[in-house]
Structure 1
Amino acid sequence: MNPHPTRYAELNGVLHDLVTGAQSALGESFVGAYLQGSFALGAGDRHSDCDFLVVVRERPDAGQEAALRELHAELPQRPGFWNRHLEGSYAVAGDLRTPDGLGRQWLYVDHGSDRLEWSEHCNQPWTRWILREHGITLVGPCAVEVVAPVPDDVLRESARAGLATLAHDVLDWCPPAVAWCQRYLVVQAARSLYTVRTGEVASKRDALRWAMMHGDPGWRPLLQQVLADRDLGLDPLAPPRPGSMEAAREFAAYVAAVA
């Protein structure tokens, strides 16, 4: 196994336990384990979750699923930090070999959760693109050997499709009275615009910086505010700066219009 996949020794230890636990649960069905998301894009820090993907030969059977559920019920209860900041899925290898497999549900654990669910969360064009182009192999074959290329038009259209309802969709689950949610909305809009324009996927920081350079200069103060405030992390009691939520909604509408 890759002994140093990240710059955090504690996280590397947690990933070792995750991988060995998954191998034990899955047996011969285990293909490989990878990092995608912010750590794969070179932007992971202590304000990031750690996005993983374990590739399996076939959908886990009842015994394998029960063992995986036990693993993820136990991991977040351990002392430490990074064991409570994992997010990822158990991806069926056949689904990854064709764009036709996009959107199929895999076993998924949400950020910090101790419960697996069936979800399409990690089976999206942008997650596959990051995995293939930048994925960090923990153990197993190189990611390009297990995931097919994502067609450019599929990646761009997936980014464009959600923009019309982005503010509604984000603020439906993320309270607008929380500052983190204001920042999240701006970041998602910037990342979507980056993908529509470039056909690639950027980290949160890089998408904000790109938008400052390539978007309407009038949005720079908002983008700078979100970039500067990211290190504040998630505080459910911290309200947005005055006027910033309204500006975030307007930015999302601007991005939907120009995309």
Structure 2
Amino acid sequence: MLNPHPTRYAELNGVLHDLVTSAQSALGESFVGAYLQGSFALGAGDLHSDCDFLVVVRERPDAGQEAALRALHRDLPHREGHWHRHLEGSYAVARDLRSVEGLGREWLYVDHGADEMRWSEHCNQPWTRWILREHGVTIVGPCPVELMDAVPDHVLRESARAGLVTLADDVLRWCPPTIAWCQRYLVVQASRSMYTVRTGEVASKRDALRWAMMHGDPRWRPLLQQVLADRDLGLDPLAEPRPGSMEAAREFAAYVAAVA
């Protein structure tokens, strides 16, 4: 039986019910379970979040199954309602998920709000696995602990350190520095990486910003407070960063890379 209330939003729960029952129909006996990871698993999901899901499958989808899943996700974002446009997730092959040896393998993935799927390693990362195993919300299926081994602390920490080296360039390659949301995203990602390096765990965006205020250099508190306060503004492609804030975000990312 499906969990009828995986989130506190009734509309989103209905969207997830449609997603999971349609995936079960498309996958048949290959369907193992469906879960929430990301912000909703960490208890921080709100109307400004996307909803990160993971469907576990016994085998890589065959041509017919893949076609059915692509048709499903081509349709979902165009249905009425807020949450149909805010899903993101992958169809994880069970044997890849079992241990860290399967990290980085590509799964069938749909990006936030997209209506075309692609094969990607996006959801097959140490931090997404950690959230799923330690905090994942089961919609239907076995507990995530039964499907996967724990992610070792050193794997999480080293992954976070490695990403910090080129974080600013990586983010601003796809997220233009002329958009205020991109400034906030860079600061959030640097804060989350610092949290993971120091603790061996993964925090939500809000919790990472608050932690960085307490444990980072006090000179960064005004920047962190600005990003935390502006988060509810959401993504507006026409909204420019506050004067000097993008430069401050780059400097903060460099600081985090240095202390990590």
Secondary structure of the equivalent of 1:89?
A: strand
> Which residue matches 2:96?
95
- For structure 1, which runs of at least 5 residues remain unmatched after alignment? none
4+ residue runs of structure 1 moved beyond 3 angstroms?
none
> Which residue matches 1:82?
83
> Which residue matches 2:250?
249
Secondary structure of the equivalent of 1:38?
A: coil
> Which residue matches 2:181?
180
> Which residue matches 2:218?
217
Q: Cα distance, 1:148 vs. partner?
A: 1.4
CA deviation map 1:16-48 (0-9, x unaligned): 000000000000000000000000000000110
Calculate percent identity across the aligned residue pairs. 86
Distance across 1 between alignment mates of 2:99 and 2:164: 25
- For structure 2, which runs of at least 5 residues remain unmatched after alignment? none
Number of residue pairs the alignment of both structures matches: 259
TM-score by length of 1: 1.00
Distance across 2 between alignment mates of 1:162 and 1:129: 17
Q: Cα distance, 1:151 vs. partner?
A: 1.1
Secondary structure of the equivalent of 2:242?
A: coil
Distance across 1 between alignment mates of 2:165 and 2:152: 22
**AA at the equivalent of 1:74:** D
TM-score by length of 2: 0.99
> Which residue matches 1:68?
69
CA deviation map 1:141-173 (0-9, x unaligned): 011111211011111000000101100000000
Secondary structure of the equivalent of 2:113?
A: coil
**AA at the equivalent of 1:88:** G
**AA at the equivalent of 1:11:** L
Q: Cα distance, 1:256 vs. partner?
A: 0.2
CA deviation map 1:72-112 (0-9, x unaligned): 01111111110000000000000111111000000000000
Distance across 1 between alignment mates of 2:163 and 2:152: 18
Distance across 2 between alignment mates of 1:235 and 1:27: 40
RMSD: 0.4
> Which residue matches 1:46?
47
Q: Cα distance, 1:137 vs. partner?
A: 0.1
> Which residue matches 2:126?
125
Distance across 1 between alignment mates of 2:248 and 2:99: 39
Secondary structure of the equivalent of 1:162?
A: helix
**AA at the equivalent of 1:16:** H
**AA at the equivalent of 2:56:** V
Distance across 1 between alignment mates of 2:103 and 2:244: 38
> Which residue matches 1:22?
23
> Which residue matches 1:170?
171
CA deviation map 1:197-221 (0-9, x unaligned): 0000000000000000000000000
> Which residue matches 2:10?
9
**AA at the equivalent of 1:92:** V
